Amino acid sequence: MKIKLALLLALTSSCLFAADDPPHPFVGVIERLDPAFDNLLAPGATIEKLAEGFRWSEGPTWYDGGVVFSDVLANTAYRWKPGASVGKVTGADIFLRPSGLWQATPGFREPGSNGLTRDAQGRLLLAQHGERQIARFDQGVFTTLARRFDGKRFNSPNDLAVRKNGDIYFTDPPYGLEKVVDSPLRELPYAGVFRLATDGKVTLLTKNLTFPNGIGFSPDEKTLYVAVSDSKATRVVAFDVQADGTLANERLFFDAQARKDKGGKGLCDGLKVDREGNVWATGPGGVMVISPAGKLLGVINTNEPTGNCCWGDDGSTLYITANYFLVRVKTLTKGAGW
């Protein structure tokens, strides 16, 4: 299914505050927990606020010379480009509105797009909560890539990652729906991890995770990481990727529950992987940087619930969506695939 939508390139501010509502303060710090962290983030590195005024920023990706990211609650995708005003409410322009639900429909608590990425041709891919599908946006046209499994609608696709062969792996928790797991709109009784093959076939890879969320591959694509946003057991798990693209050997990669129990804001959410195989996973306290062996090296602590991150510029800048804010950190590594 293809739907043409006018691309909104707003020249006005991205501000969502009322005129008398002051901007939220942003205070981020960097926690260095292991000497190896200095090889990834210079001792003088700082967190730079780029834009603010969003209701819940999510799913950033480097696209068309800038960062495109979702505001899930506002049913809007924004774009920030280098050279835009920095650190102000005026930092980003509307890129897509609506981004995830094309017409008013009851039953959705988070109607917008969530996770975004690019395919091998550089086209924008979206996990759309409101339309409950994986879609592609190219030259002003949305194309539905997958919206059902076994004849049933997805819950609300959340995040996605593309293999080098073009297959799209995505997670499907019910966060976009009112009443979440108790939503009467649910057709699948589980939150799955799926693969959308290049021939259009959708395969269920696992239904054993309560709230699968962020997703990403190791540089050699032999391991798939999935974040679990379960408030009672928030963590990152790993799977072996089999020769046929299916998953095996589910195991705990990093348990973040202790950080949550100590007051860290947020749950394990989006994640990305660098070229050395370190996992940069949003979770309690911000972005947790975890070695391939599962050791926590440091934390980019945004002091906000933090939705996701992506690599941009030349692949060495980490852009982070943290609640009301878009921020960035210059690193000493690059994202896998750059």
Residue 110 phi/psi, 5-degree rounding, is: -135, 90
pLDDT given at position 83: 79
Given a contact cutoff of 8 angstroms between Cβ atoms, the answer to whether 212 and 204 are in contact is no
pLDDT in tens, 119-128: 999 999 999 9
pLDDT in tens, 80-95: 998 766 655 557 999 9
- 29-32: strand order across its sheet: 29-32, 296-301, 286-290, 279-283, 271-273
pLDDT given at position 4: 59
* Overall domain count for the chain: 1
Please tell me the total number of residues recorded for the chain in this structure: 338
Residue 207 within any structural domain of the chain:
yes
pLDDT in tens, 221-277: 999 999 999 999 999 999 999 999 999 999 999 999 999 999 999 999 999 999 999
Q: Partners of 79 in the beta sheet?
A: 68, 93
pTM more than 0.85: yes
Could you tell me the two tokens for 203?
A: 């395969």
Distance between alpha carbon 120 and the CA centroid of its chain, in Å? 18
pLDDT given at position 12: 30
Lowest model confidence (mean pLDDT) among 21-25, 69-73, 250-254, 280-284: 21-25
Range of the domain at 127: 27-330
Residue 22 within any structural domain of the chain:
no
Closest CA to 289 of 241, 252, 329: 329
pLDDT in tens, 129-155: 999 999 999 999 999 999 999 999 999
Which whole-number Å values give the CA distances from 89 to 15, 98, 166, 257, 304, in the listed order? 5, 20, 37, 33, 17
pLDDT given at position 24: 77
CATH number (domain holding residue 217): 2.120.10.30
pLDDT in tens, 185-213: 999 999 999 999 999 999 999 999 999 99
* All residues at 6 or more sequence positions from 312 whose CB lies less than 8 Å from its CB, including other chains: 60, 62, 66, 67, 318, 319, 328
Residue 18 within any structural domain of the chain:
no
Closest CA to 228 of 176, 274, 159: 159
Residue 6 within any structural domain of the chain:
no
Res. 10 pLDDT band, cuts 50 70 90: very low
Residue 49 within any structural domain of the chain:
yes
Residue 198 within any structural domain of the chain:
yes
Residue 261 within any structural domain of the chain:
yes
Residue 2 within any structural domain of the chain:
no
pLDDT given at position 6: 43
pLDDT in tens, 294-324: 999 999 999 999 999 999 999 999 999 999 9
pLDDT given at position 86: 61
pLDDT given at position 185: 97
pLDDT given at position 304: 96
